[in-house]
Structure 1
Amino acid sequence: MQTNFSPEQLADPAIATADKILRNCVHCGFCTATCPTYALLGDELDSPRGRIYMIKDMLEHERPATPEVVKHVDRCLSCLSCMTTCPSGVDYMHLVDHARAHIERTYKRPLADRALRRVLALVLPNPRLFRLSVALAKLGRPFSPLLPAKLRAMLALAPARLPIPVPEATLNLKPQGAVRLRVALLPGCTQQVLAPHLNTATARLLARHGCEVVVLPGTGCCGALRHHMGAADHAEARANILAWRKEVEAGRIDAIVMNASGCGTTVKDYGFLFRNDPDLAAPAAAISRITRDITELMAEIGLQAPVIPTGQRVAYHSACSLQHGQRVTEAPKQLLRQAGFAVVDVPEGHLCCGSAGTYNMLQPEIATQLRDRKVANIESTAPALIAAGNIGCMVQIGSGTKLPVVHTAELLDWATGGPRPEALKAS
């Protein structure tokens, strides 16, 4: 694609990066075949190719974002399926991130939209505030029919009850047997509130396989939620880098482990986000290099022989952030098979479930259509349960099916000696 940025514009490193990305696009349209919003809406402007044209025009002419541009960029899930499909290697992820930041700088959203986004950006990364908000959702549920669609969607996603919190200190575990690796576990933000047992299962699994597990003080939200709403300060990412930096630079951490693939995609991108920061560029890049999804690391370590192979039929949902964002596709399924489960692939597995961070709250109509499509595809395989590697997907899919939805790490933990996952105890 030909671009027309001026030399003055190209002096800005962010514009120079956007220019390089745009020039890689050859208009082929392969991306439209795998884009969830194009599949649903059939609008070229709701495809990656259409959004690229709009973003190019907006950036080249240094225009403030228009309502039309905002509408179509907001509809993008950042599922990154287009990047898996693209034969030209177009880095759509960083281009649309740039566009979102430009929108937040130049466009004044309607008051209700602006207020909702600010609340989400404040509450979701903060486990204390998020726990309080979920508790308050019970009070608002009787009034749901009277509320706007987006607030109704938020109430619908809130669980009826919350699990007991798990203190971070309990996640610091010594290895069983000789120390093979020392790993740092990211506790996350919403996961701490909605499903703290996922961190516990992950820590047990790692310790059972010879890993010393630590949660370093100061780590928490990866920053993805605010980043994908256009925030440019990367405050949460900066806090994590500062918390990990000393241990990583001293070589005392072998891997940083993610059990929420949305977080993993973001942390693996810290090197890019801070590439122009003279103080944090090197440590951010080092952190990204040693970041692993739990299934990546377990594949490297090697799974112990399962102690309770059940042969249960498991539909594996490959989260977009894992299959497209991190290109981790086979390790989770291979590990589940090694653990004694009968794994089945889901039709249209490349399409997003509609969770996408805050997307199911900001674009509830499209998100619900995608969820229902995903659930129908999963249920067509007649599984006993669903496995996934991302808390957002688990909540989204779980809201549309009665099948138990279990984290991959929970199943691996159970198979190698841990307790039966909570979601399966009632099944």
Structure 2
Amino acid sequence: MQTNIVESLKHSPQGKEAESILRKCVHCGFCLATCPTYNLTGNELDSPRGRIYLLKQLLEGKPVSRSTQQHLDSCLTCRACETTCPSNVSYHRLLEISVPLVEQEVPRNLKQRLLRSAILKILPYRNRFTPLLRSAQLLRPLLPPALSHKIPTKQSSTQPIENKPPPYAQRTMLVLEGCVQPGIDPTINAAATRVLNHLGISLITAPKAGCCGALSYHLNQQQDGLNFMRRNIDAWWPLIEQGCEAIVMTASGCGTTVKEYGELLINDPDYAEKARQVSSLTMDLVEVLGNETVENLPITPASSLAFQCPCSLQHGQSLPGAVEALLSRMRFELKPVNDNHLCCGSAGTYSIFQPELATELRHRKLQTLKNSKADQFVSANIGCITHLSENSDNPVRHWIQIVDEALSVAT
């Protein structure tokens, strides 16, 4: 694609990167078939190819309208287009570079600003989010169904994560607790801890680590997002220096972001090298277990499973089929799920800002899960789990919870 980037951007690092990405796009249209929003609306401007055209206009100094902003807002950033693209166009990076420029040109109204401000002041901080969630859960029976369904039911953790490895653990790994997952379902990391303990691996936490930074970064507060990343690096670094083997992610959305710390902080002289090392140590839970002899675990599968593969796992981390393969190795029966490459509509805060599109995508995903005829539905990301469970008679759980239960029955 030919480009003519505006002079004020052309020679900046971000301008050069954006131009390089644009030049890779040949407008072949392969991305249209895998774009969830284009499949829903049929509008070319709601496709990656259309949005790239809008971003090209922006970067070339053309006027930007509220319509441009709306088409960009409707993007899930699921990266399915990147998996499909034969030219390896880094579409998500083009968005990250360009969308803040749109924000400068088209200020949001007061309602949008207040909502975004509230989210950014609450969700990334678990010491704020969890108490508010607990209060909402207490009031849940008194609320109208339309509102009460949006509040996750309280989960009880039977075993907290301890910072001291058990006597039989031969290896130590860090685990990210994150921001919303400890409040919504603390049993996920507890289950991961117990399963890995069976393999001689101890999971420990760094108390000062928190939000991975994705939420702020993707809501155009990029400096705040980078500061969250730096805080996590500072919290993890002493344990990395002590020989911690890996940084385990039980939420694939967080894992995608932490694996990109090295790229996002590449221009920070104080953190670039540390960020690169953190990214190289980061592994999704399925990667950790996939490297172990899980066939020897005393597992007694009790039901068939349908796995909803989060976009962050299959597109963001390029791990399609990894969970299914692992569960099969552990003798679980996996039912096929049609169109598993399409987003469920969660996409971080997307379901808050784009409820109509998110609801339709959820409906389609739940239907494909039901069509599988599986006994239980599982996923690998807390956002997908919460979004899908909101409107499902068969709640979606994290796959490690099912493995943990199968181990408990066997032992």
Q: In the alignment, what sits opposite 1:386? A: 377
Q: In the alignment, what sits opposite 1:20? A: 20
Structure-to-structure mapping, 1:53-202, within 5 angstroms: 53-61=53-61, 65-137=64-136, 139=139, 156-159=149-152, 161-164=153-156, 170-174=161-165, 177=168, 179=170, 181-202=171-192
Within 2, Cα distance between the matches of 1:327 and 1:24? 20
Q: In the alignment, what sits opposite 2:386? A: 395
Q: TM-score, normalised by structure 2?
A: 0.93
Moved more, 337-346 or 81-90: 337-346
Alpha-carbon distance, 1:389 to partner: 0.4
Q: What is the identity, as a one-letter code, of the residue corresponding to 1:277? A: D
Cα deviation, 1:259-296, whole Å, max 9, x if unaligned, reads: 00000000001111101111111111111111000001
Residue 42 and residue 208 in structure 1: after superposition, are their counterparts in 2 closer, same or farther (change >3 A)? same
Q: Any idea what SS the aligned residue of 1:157 has?
A: coil
Structure-to-structure mapping, 1:309-320, within 5 angstroms: 309-310=300-301, 312-320=303-311
Q: In the alignment, what sits opposite 1:46? A: 46
| Native 8 Å contact 2:124 2:211 kept in 1 | yes
Do residues 243 (structure 1) and 235 (structure 2) align? yes
Q: In the alignment, what sits opposite 1:332? A: 323
Within 2, Cα distance between the matches of 1:419 and 1:96? 48
Q: In the alignment, what sits opposite 2:292? A: 301
Q: What is the identity, as a one-letter code, of the residue corresponding to 1:120? A: I
Q: In the alignment, what sits opposite 1:423? A: none
Question: What residue ranges of structure 1 are gaps of 5+ in the alignment?
Answer: 146-151, 421-427
Q: What is the identity, as a one-letter code, of the residue corresponding to 1:375? A: L
Within 2, Cα distance between the matches of 1:124 and 1:412? 29
Within 1, Cα distance between the matches of 2:110 and 2:83? 36
Moved more, 353-362 or 203-212: 203-212
Alpha-carbon distance, 1:7 to partner: 6.0
Alpha-carbon distance, 1:167 to partner: 9.2
Q: In the alignment, what sits opposite 1:276? A: 267
Q: In the alignment, what sits opposite 2:212? A: 222
Q: Any idea what SS the aligned residue of 1:416 has?
A: helix
| Native 8 Å contact 1:271 1:285 kept in 2 | yes
Q: TM-score, normalised by structure 1?
A: 0.89
Residue 173 and residue 36 in structure 1: after superposition, are their counterparts in 2 closer, same or farther (change >3 A)? farther
Q: What is the identity, as a one-letter code, of the residue corresponding to 2:20? A: K
Within 2, Cα distance between the matches of 1:237 and 1:38? 33
Q: Any idea what SS the aligned residue of 2:247 has?
A: strand
| Native 8 Å contact 2:188 2:400 kept in 1 | yes
Residue 176 and residue 28 in structure 1: after superposition, are their counterparts in 2 closer, same or farther (change >3 A)? farther
Do residues 292 (structure 1) and 283 (structure 2) align? yes
Q: In the alignment, what sits opposite 1:425? A: none
Structure-to-structure mapping, 1:395-414, within 5 angstroms: 395-414=386-405
| Native 8 Å contact 2:198 2:297 kept in 1 | no
Residue 416 and residue 359 in structure 1: after superposition, are their counterparts in 2 closer, same or farther (change >3 A)? same
Q: In the alignment, what sits opposite 2:357? A: 366
Q: In the alignment, what sits opposite 2:10? A: 10
Within 1, Cα distance between the matches of 2:326 and 2:395? 19
Moved more, 187-196 or 105-114: 105-114
| Native 8 Å contact 2:159 2:190 kept in 1 | no
Total equivalences in the alignment: 408
Within 1, Cα distance between the matches of 2:159 and 2:125? 15
Within 2, Cα distance between the matches of 1:18 and 1:290? 28
Moved more, 126-135 or 310-319: 126-135
1:208 aligns with one of 195, 198, 201? 198
Structure-to-structure mapping, 1:26-41, within 5 angstroms: 26-41=26-41
Alpha-carbon distance, 1:237 to partner: 1.3
Within 2, Cα distance between the matches of 1:398 and 1:224? 22
Within 1, Cα distance between the matches of 2:136 and 2:392? 21
Within 2, Cα distance between the matches of 1:224 and 1:419? 38
